Structure 1
């Protein structure tokens, strides 16, 4: 680990522990599973919070399994000691404790030094409707199967209305998507196809938002089988805060190299810049930003 990375991990570990011991809503979350240990955060209790995140994501079948709790407790111990804090683990902390956008941004900024990607889209594509919301937090998970195909994409998002009457979110997605399931927070609405190859679907929210009101929702996208891919992209028109991106590979089919990448278009063209990434032990690459705007970001890899 480089000196810069080591310093970022140590500083993030200190910030994370401070948040978990001084923020009432975060303290309540872990104290359900155990009281303070010697005046500090109870690491086993935190491990139980993280186990629930893995369970809801589908990574484990039993969040109370002692082996799972022991594995996560060891991860928490290494993180709090400032020795190891992979991006996926920090993302799980953020999700498990439902951290505020400000806290999310501070944590990612401290860990990675990454701030923003803006203004790389040179030619705007036509869209089905204007954007009447802003995204406050975004968790994207792409799942690659053993045949090197994109099998599933899971998205968790929180939006804030910029005006009264916001009743839907326009989801721009890959053209080879075959099915979209809204897990909670809304239902699938109108479908759009454009001459330039952009395809979108409305997610109709459970309730109509007034200006400044917020809604969270989760949805999954499924794709044509056996379609080999070497990249995934996520576009943003207006500013999207705290995007947290993850691509998951099966342990028996890992890529040779993987990069966080930035493009000028939703689907066309080569990447314009990239950052090499290391895979976690579970086969996941992760990258997070404070915000993105008028850009396309994601991952690319080589087998």
Structure 2
């Protein structure tokens, strides 16, 4: 990423972290009056920053802390020292801090996707479902205390059915998220598949020849502004011999009932099969499927 894009991406992720309900938002809300869920009080954030010890090489101007905050969160000006001050003041978790520094450094393994920084949409882009097959696919979907998706992790072993496979699509139903490729590739182009589905191309580290396989691992942090439907669905466009899905609920927001289900489509979907399942002691449900081909499976639930 070029310099301006690095700052914009980092500011967008920082804004997402501070806006979402949780410990970071609670930190600045101590100095704020009522604020709409999608908004941030820059003056309150600035108070948190001025109360923290910052790097001596970049003191925060006491006459303009709100302007420093605004520029950082809007992605117009954000240096490494100012980012360090945010991380220190808000006691940002190590994984979030690593992503912030990676974005500012211009890492090709990270991409923030939202209305401000996503690439132009390409509606109806073709996805070649026959170019590869998933030998195994493991999905772990984690919900936060607000009942909204918080993080998703995918570990996938894929085998190419063509010569020189260079990428695979990763689909999602929101345009407010961060995609991180942990192993096997980097983040490519963002585009739209339909009215409700977006996608990003994950570019493989090296082209994969026919019959060869590779291991991929990627994570997603979600920042839904409004709650999505109470479900997690996984569409298998081609086939896989081993699919495992875990859905983990936060102890502060457990569902009343959960069902294992199949759907008939990605958009405007209807449930075609379902059966009730029970939460385990960790507030999770999971299921393993074998020899899955061209289907959509997952869980849906009813909140207490």
Verify the 8 A CA contact 2:174 2:224 in the aligned structure 1. Answer: no
Verify the 8 A CA contact 1:149 1:228 in the aligned structure 2. Answer: yes
Shift of 1:226: 5.4
TM-score (norm 2): 0.56
Verify the 8 A CA contact 2:175 2:198 in the aligned structure 1. Answer: no
Verify the 8 A CA contact 2:173 2:196 in the aligned structure 1. Answer: no
Residue 184 of structure 1 is matched in structure 2 by: 183
Distance 2:218 2:146 in 1: 24
| Distance change in 2, residues 1:195/1:256 (3 Å) | closer
Residue 227 of structure 1 is matched in structure 2 by: 226
Q: 1:129 aligns with which of 127, 130, 151?
A: 127
| Distance change in 2, residues 1:195/1:146 (3 Å) | closer
Distance 2:146 2:125 in 1: 33
Structure holding more helix per residue: 1
Distance 1:246 1:226 in 2: 24
Distance 2:301 2:267 in 1: 16
Distance 1:195 1:173 in 2: 11
Distance 2:194 2:173 in 1: 14
Residue 272 of structure 2 is matched in structure 1 by: 272
Equivalenced residue count is: 180
Residue 152 of structure 1 is matched in structure 2 by: 151
The secondary structure found in structure 2 opposite 1:239 is strand
| Distance change in 2, residues 1:258/1:178 (3 Å) | same
Distance 2:194 2:157 in 1: 30
Verify the 8 A CA contact 1:150 1:227 in the aligned structure 2. Answer: no
Distance 1:226 1:153 in 2: 17
Shift of 1:177: 4.2
Residue 142 of structure 1 is matched in structure 2 by: 141
Distance 1:244 1:297 in 2: 10
Verify the 8 A CA contact 1:254 1:283 in the aligned structure 2. Answer: yes
Shift of 1:127: 4.6
Shift of 1:128: 2.9
The secondary structure found in structure 1 opposite 2:219 is strand
For residues 57-80 of structure 1, what are the alpha-carbon distances to aligned partners after superposition, in whole Å with 9 as ceiling and x for unaligned? x9xxxxxxxxxxxxxxxxxxxxxx
TM-score (norm 1): 0.56
Counterparts of residues 258-297 of structure 1 (less than 5 Å):
258-297=258-297
Shift of 1:178: 1.6
Q: Which moved more, 1:172-181 or 1:148-157?
A: 172-181
Shift of 1:129: 3.2
Distance 1:282 1:167 in 2: 38
Shift of 1:126: 5.0
> Can you give the 5+ residue segments of structure 1 that lack an aligned partner in the other structure?
1-57, 59-124
Residue 301 of structure 2 is matched in structure 1 by: 301
Counterparts of residues 18-167 of structure 1 (less than 5 Å):
126-131=124-129, 132-167=131-166
Residue 3 of structure 1 is matched in structure 2 by: none
